[in-house]
Amino acid sequence: MADTELLDAIRDVVGERGLLTGAADTAAYTEDWRRLYRGHTPGVIRPADTDQLARVVRLCAAARAPIVPQGGNTSMVGGATPAEDGSEFVLSLARMARIRDIDPLDLTMTVEAGVTLKAAQIAAAEADCLLPLSISSEGSAQIGGVLATNAGGNNTVRYGNARDLVLGLEVVLADGTVWNGLRRLRKDNTGYCLRQLFVGSEGTLGIIAAAVLKLAPRPHEVVVALCAVASPEAALKLFGRFQSHDPAAISAFELMSGLGTDLVLRHIEGAVLPLASPAPNYVLVELATPRPDAGLRDALESVLEASLAEGIVSDAVIAASEAQRAAIWRLREEHSEAQKREGASVKNDVSVPVSKVPEFVRRATAACEALMPGIRAVPFGHMGDGNIHFNLAQPVDADPAWFLAQDHAIMDTVNEVVRALDGSFSAEHGIGKLKPYMMPDWRGGAELATMRRIKDALDPLGIMNPAKVLP
Ligand code: MLT
Ligand code: ZN
């Protein structure tokens, strides 16, 4: 099919507002959030429902036209950006944004791919439930993308990753067939677990159209504290204190470096440090419980008092209102945005065993400073599950383009330390376009060969998000 014929056929399916072709209209879909990649596309296709989505995929398969599925376009690894050569359609799920069902007794919700994570959280809360997945980009990130990338975020320590919250999926396969696996069963032991193949596949095997998510009871009590600590070692000790008190109460345990927090205070309007003076590192700890009588605030106070007395914590503040809680979380959530405003940065989304986080931070900082004088380590993230965003900010006066050109050397330096500590080179951001080159080294042999066979079986034409994940 000639290009214009294909565009006309797609337009017939999705209507005028379902297909964007002008450069001005497609611009927001062809560049990634980090501005590392700028692609081109013959069109951004915006189906309104699963039927339209399936028909469009059938047309693209018949024409062998590659497709890049896209949710909120918040990938940290260029996972949703089309190629520069203008051959790949972007398939935006944004119009498929209905919440189909919420069942507080089953503790499930059925949502379409284009629902933002924030909207899904709000809908769950209105039904007196909790959707226990929270990431910094939740206002834009959409459920389809969150699942396709197996997002992690702040609550993994308690509830696991996106993968752990999926009971069922509706998927449009690479040939346009619809697989309806929207089951909401807690037990369903019937052959290969197909849904988990699509979770984390980053759109390379099929397109998630809708999902059944597990909910949790809505917490009755949530308490948040910001703690000043001298070092990641002290943060680890504090984590141990909370764990021995009640591991099931910890819903988030986040580490922030002094520099990262300074950047937030400097670049984000309205951000304030609710402590008397700045510290070398901070911990944001959140405890939550659905029990009405748990007395979490008292528990938090007693753990913090003991930790202050032992010198593990040098200062701490407990949020006294919802506004203070949000203000403390803002210091954490704005880390990426503040680093973007500070200049170029190279991200390393890595994980190590929780007990190794301090050693990792120490060794990776030393290795990067030896590689490039003036480089600024900004470690922060989900310490409670071992996932640290070991981001490197450019030296103050360096040329941003020069700095970014060293990204492989910097990432490889960090990854050497990760490997020595039995960690992973991508904890929650996935592989996208940025990291396929690392796959042979880290996941080579039988593992990568099996992944390739799965890809070949499910996407024999190679049209689903080409050049992502697999090298
Ligand atoms: C976060 O947790 O805020 C993101 O995953 C961050 C990042 O690496 O910038
Ligand atoms: Zn993160």
**46 pLDDT band (50/70/90 cuts)?**
very high
Quick one: CA torsion of 202, 204, 208, 214, rounded to 10 degrees? -40
287: three-class secondary structure by DSSP? strand
The half-sphere exposure of 48 on its side-chain side, counting CA atoms within 13 A, is: 8
**Closest residue (by CA) to atom 3 of ligand 1?**
136
DSSP structural state of residue 234: H
pLDDT tens-digit map of 245-281: 999 999 999 999 999 999 999 999 999 999 999 999 9
CA 429 to ligand 1: nearest atom: 5
Strands 129-130 and 216-217 turn out to be antiparallel
Whole-number Cα distances in Å, 155 to 209, 232, 384, 387: 24, 19, 9, 12
**292 pLDDT band (50/70/90 cuts)?**
confident
pLDDT tens-digit map of 222-240: 999 999 999 999 999 999 9
Residues with CB under 6 A from ligand 1: 76, 136, 335-336, 347, 349, 381, 389, 391
**Closest residue (by CA) to atom 7 of ligand 1?**
336
Q: Which fold has domain 99-217?
A: 3.30.465
**Residue 50 alpha carbon to ligand 2 centre in Å:** 30
pLDDT over 70 at 1, yes or no: no
CATH class belonging to 3-92: alpha beta
Beta strands in 81-133 (DSSP E): 89-92, 99-103, 108-112, 129-130
**Residue 2 alpha carbon to ligand 2 centre in Å:** 43
Main-chain phi, psi angles of 130, to 5 degrees: -125, 130
Percent of the chain with pLDDT over 70: 100
**Residue 135 alpha carbon to ligand 2 centre in Å:** 7
Q: Which fold has domain 221-335?
A: Alpha-Beta Plaits (3.30.70)
CA 336 to ligand 1: nearest atom: 9
d(CA 427, CA 150): 10
Beta strands in 347-403 (DSSP E): 349-351, 376-382, 387-393
pLDDT over 90 at 3, yes or no: no
Residue 341, both tokens:
């405003």
pTM for the model:
0.96
Quote the Cα angle for 238-240-241, to 5°.
65
Domain boundaries, the chain: 3-92, 99-217, 221-335, 343-437
Mean pLDDT, residues 135-164: 97
CA 339 to ligand 1: nearest atom: 9
d(CA 184, CA 107): 9
**Matching CATH topology for 99-217 and 221-335?**
no
d(CA 469, CA 15): 32
**Residue 259 alpha carbon to ligand 1 centre in Å:** 15
Q: Which fold has domain 343-437?
A: Alpha-Beta Plaits (3.30.70)
**Residue 102 alpha carbon to ligand 1 centre in Å:** 29
Starting from the CA of residue 256, give the closest ligand: 1
Residue 465, both tokens:
């998000």
DSSP structural state of residue 39: -
**Residue 135 alpha carbon to ligand 1 centre in Å:** 8
